[in-house]
């Protein structure tokens, strides 16, 4: 009986030691990401001289389930996944707005792109607002951006309704850097569409 009790004690102590070792193990490091603007090689020369064009860009609106520190990926059906170890380095709505402004500045060759809530200020040539409906994807799959955007010129709406932008990009890799790269590229696609509209109205 003493031998059996000793064996049980040994097994118990071994189990405790394994649990302690597991508790001392390191967790996966948290990685932080930012959206990237257009590279200089991705921009083409503007069709007209645009240094005089001024644009007021309202802070971009995002769905609450996306506007969080963790990167959200789309799953099957109505399910999404929130990754605790892959996060945005800044609030996503701020990052999206900042990169959109930088892209438009490059595409239109103007430094007069301002992020502002004062969209009724008539001192701007164009007033731009963007409402994002979807901005997600998954590693190894595809990235999607769906949004509505509207443009005013000299205080008057251009068109009768907000335009709808829908586009996808393949994610060229099975990791989060590839996903963020695809999201940046699709934001560049939106930037080009808006820039083309502004150019057509300015010419």
Region 82-93 average pLDDT: 93
H-helix or E-strand containing 32? strand 31-33
The residue among 40 and 190 whose pLDDT is bigger is: 190
Calculate mean pLDDT across residues 34-49.
70
- Alpha helical stretches, state H, 68-114: 92-108
Domain count, the chain: 1
pLDDT for 117 equals 83
Residue 22 lies in a domain: no
The tally of CA atoms less than 13 A away on the side-chain side of residue 122 is: 3
> Is 98:115 a contact under the CB 8 Å cutoff?
yes
Classify burial at 105, counting beta carbons within 10 Å of its beta carbon; exposed 0-12, middle 13-18, buried 19 or more.
buried
Count of Cβ atoms closer than 10 Å to residue 132 Cβ:
22
Structure tokens at 78: 């109505």
- Mean pLDDT along residues 83-98: 95
Lowest mean pLDDT among 28-42, 129-143, 161-175: 28-42
Has residue 82 been placed in a domain?
yes
The answer to whether position 11 is within a domain reads no
Report d(CA 50, CA 171) in Å as an integer.
Answer: 34
Give me the domain span that covers residue 101: 30-202
Q: Evaluate whether residue 19 is within a structural domain.
A: no
Torsion angle in degrees (nearest 10) through CA of 80, 22, 177, 65: 30
Confidence (pLDDT) at 83: 83
pTM for the structure as a whole: 0.82
pLDDT digits (tens, 9 = 90+) for 188-203: 999 999 999 999 888 7
* d(C-alpha 32, C-alpha 91), whole Å: 11
Confidence of residue 120 (pLDDT cuts 50, 70, 90): low
Residue 159 counted as domain residue? yes
The mean per-residue pLDDT over the stretch 61-85 comes to 87
pLDDT given for residue 175 in this prediction: 95
CATH number at residue 191: 3.40.50.10610
What average pLDDT does range 173-193 have in this prediction?
96
146 contacts 133 by C-beta, under 8 angstroms: yes
Alpha helices by DSSP H, the chain: 2-24, 92-108, 176-202
Q: What is the pLDDT of residue 114?
A: 93
Residue 113 in any domain: the answer is: yes
**Cβ contact 73:175 at 8 Å:** no
What is the average pLDDT across 157-171?
Answer: 88
Taking the C-alpha atoms of residue 203 and residue 186, their distance in angstroms, rounded to an integer, is 26
pLDDT given at position 202: 82
- Helices (H) and strands (E) counted in the chain, each on its own, are 3, 9
């Amino acid at each position: 009986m003493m031998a059996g009790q000793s064996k049980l004690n040994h097994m118990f102590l071994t189990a405790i030691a394994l649990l302690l070792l597991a508790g001392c193990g390191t967790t996966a490091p948290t990685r932080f990401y930012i959206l990237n603007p257009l590279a200089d090689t991705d921009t083409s020369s503007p069709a007209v001289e645009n240094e005089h064009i001024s644009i007021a860009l309202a802070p971009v609106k995002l769905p609450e389930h996306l506007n969080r520190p963790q990167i959200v990926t789309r799953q099957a059906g109505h399910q999404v996944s929130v990754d605790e170890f892959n996060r945005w380095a800044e609030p996503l709505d701020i990052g999206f707005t900042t990169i959109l402004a930088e892209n438009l500045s490059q595409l239109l060759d103007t430094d007069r792109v301002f992020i502002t809530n004062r969209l009724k200020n008539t001192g701007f040539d164009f007033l731009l607002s963007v409402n994002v409906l979807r901005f997600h994807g998954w590693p190894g799959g595809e990235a999607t951006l769906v949004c509505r955007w509207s443009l005013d010129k000299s205080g008057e709406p251009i068109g009768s309704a907000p335009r709808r932008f829908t586009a996808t990009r393949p994610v060229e890799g099975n990791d989060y850097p590839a996903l963020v790269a695809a999201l940046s590229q699709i934001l560049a696609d939106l930037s080009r569409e808006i820039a083309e509209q502004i150019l057509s109205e300015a010419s």
